[in-house]
Every structure is written in C-alpha cells, then in structure tokens.
Structure 1
C-alpha cells in the first residue's frame, strides 16, 4: 500500500516532473515499486518518469486525465 506522501509524490511528478523537492525515501519507495523510473542524463542529473504502473495508480485515484 502506498503512503499518502508517495501518492502525493506521484501527483507532483505527473504535473511537473520536478523531483527536487521530493523526499528521497518516497522516491526510493516509488522506484522500488516500479511506479517511477530514474533516467540518468549525460549532465549527471537524473530525470524521473512515471511508469505505466504509476500512471495506472493515478488513474485509479482519479488524478490523471
């Protein structure tokens, strides 16, 4: 089961893709559950993306169009 913080993190990522303000524990839990993926960029930074499973969770809570 996802915590309210983890669901909120998914919602934030769906709207702006900015993971700078997210709790690292929440982000780690989402990665572990394969709800988000981290894509390492050539610049050394990581880009966070929702996976199809993450999008499915958001649809189930009615937050995604």
Structure 2
C-alpha cells in the first residue's frame, strides 16, 4: 500500500516530472517498487517517469473510488 505522500509523488511524476526532486524519499520508494523509473534525457539530466505498473495501480485505485 502506498502512503499518501508516495501517492502524491506518483501524481507529481505524472503531472510535472521536471519538478519532482530526485532526492525525495518517496521517489526512492516508488523506484524500489518499480512504480517509477529514471529516464536520461539528451541533456544527460535524469527525470522520473511512471512505469506501466504504476499506470495499472492508479487505474485500479480509481476504479475503487
């Protein structure tokens, strides 16, 4: 189960990945659970993105509410 902060970070990754701090503790949890991944841009900067697994989790949560 995701904490409210982890879920909020997952939503932030979707809405504004460039504004998501890579040092957020919640992002580490999402990376460990394979709900987020880091992609390297052409500029060599890394930014988080949601994985397909994360999309499925969010859809499942949305169906229950």
Q: Fold conserved (TM > 0.5)?
A: yes
Q: TM-score, normalized by length of structure 2?
A: 0.76
Whether the aligned pair in 2 keeps the contact of 1:6 and 1:27 (CA below 8 Å) is yes
Structure 1 residues 61, 18: CA separation in 2 closer, same or farther (over 3 Å shift)?
farther
Q: Does 1:26 align with 2:16?
A: no
For structure 1, which runs of at least 5 residues remain unmatched after alignment?
A: none
Corresponding residue number in structure 2 for 1:2: 2
1:20 CA displacement: 3.3
Corresponding residue number in structure 2 for 1:13: 13
Q: TM-score, normalized by length of structure 1?
A: 0.76
Hey, which of these two has a bigger chunk of helix by percent? Answer: 2
Number of matched pairs:
63
